[in-house]
Amino acid sequence: MTTLVIHNPATGLQITQVSADDAASVAAKAQTARTAQPAWAATPLAQRMACVARFRAAVVVELEALAATMTAETGKPISMSRNELNGLLGRIDFFLAEAEASTATQTVFADGGMTEQIQHIPLGVVANISAWNYPWFVGCNVILPALLTGNAVLYKPSEFATLTGMTIARLLHEAGVPQDVLALCVGGGEVGAALQAQRIDGLFFTGSYATGAKIAQALGPRMVKLQLELGGKDPTYVCDDANPATAAASLADGAMYNTGQSCCSVERIYVHEKVFDAFVAAFVDTVHSFKVGDPMLDSTYIGAITRAAQLDVLDAQVADAVAKGAKLLTGGTRLPGNTFAPTVLVNVNHSMDLMREESFGPVIGIQKVASDTEAVALMNDTRYGLTAGVFTPNEARARAVLAQVNAGSVYWNCCDRVSPRLPWSGHGDSGVGLTLSTYGIQTFTRPKAWHLRQA
For binding to ligand NAD (CB under 6 A), which residues are involved? 129-134, 138, 156, 158-159, 188-189, 192-193, 196, 206-208, 211, 214-215, 229-232, 263, 358, 360, 386, 424, 426, 431
Nearest residue (CB) to ligand NAD, 212 versus 365:
212
> Which phi and psi angles does 339 have, rounded to 5°?
-110, 165
Name which of 88, 69, 176, 180 is nearest 136 in CA terms: 88
Nearest residue (CB) to ligand NAD, 166 versus 278:
166
* CB 262, min distance to ligand NAD, A: 7
* CB 434, min distance to ligand NAD, A: 9
* CB 236, min distance to ligand NAD, A: 16
DSSP assignment string, 402-431:
HHTS--SEEEES--S---TTS-EE-SGGGE
* CB 302, min distance to ligand NAD, A: 18
Class of residue 64 by CB neighbours under 10 A (exposed 0-12, middle 13-18, buried 19+): exposed
Catalytic residue among 73, 84, 98, 229: 229
Give the whole-angstrom CA distance, residue 388 versus residue 267.
10
Nearest residue (CB) to ligand NAD, 98 versus 429:
429
Nearest residue (CB) to ligand NAD, 20 versus 152:
20
Are 40 and 48 within 8 A, CB to CB? yes
- Quick one: angle between helices 45-74 and 135-148, nearest 10? 170
Nearest residue (CB) to ligand NAD, 196 versus 438:
196
Q: Is 62 a catalytic residue?
A: no
Nearest residue (CB) to ligand NAD, 270 versus 424:
424
Are 74 and 15 within 8 A, CB to CB? no
**E strand map for 239-342:** 266-272, 327-330, 334-335, 339-340
Q: Is 263 a catalytic residue?
A: yes
Nearest residue (CB) to ligand NAD, 231 versus 244:
231
Give the whole-angstrom CA distance, residue 425 versus residue 229.
7
Are 340 and 304 within 8 A, CB to CB? no
Q: Tell me which DSSP letter residue 290 carries.
A: P
Give the whole-angstrom CA distance, residue 131 versus residue 229.
10
* CB 426, min distance to ligand NAD, A: 6
* CB 20, min distance to ligand NAD, A: 11
Are 23 and 188 within 8 A, CB to CB? no
Q: What is the largest CA-CA distance in the chain?
A: 78
Nearest residue (CB) to ligand NAD, 166 versus 193:
193
CA atoms within 13 A on the CB side of 140: 26
C-alpha 49: how far from its chain's center?
24
3-state secondary structure of 133: coil
Are 86 and 64 within 8 A, CB to CB? no
* CB 18, min distance to ligand NAD, A: 14
Nearest residue (CB) to ligand NAD, 125 versus 398:
125
Give the whole-angstrom CA distance, residue 288 versus residue 11.
24
Rounding to the nearest 10 degrees, give the CA dihedral for residues 194, 197, 201, 203: 60
* CB 130, min distance to ligand NAD, A: 5
Nearest residue to ligand NAD, scored by beta-carbon proximity: 192
Are 25 and 32 within 8 A, CB to CB? no
* CB 255, min distance to ligand NAD, A: 14
Would you please indicate which residues are annotated as catalytic (active-site) residues? 229, 263
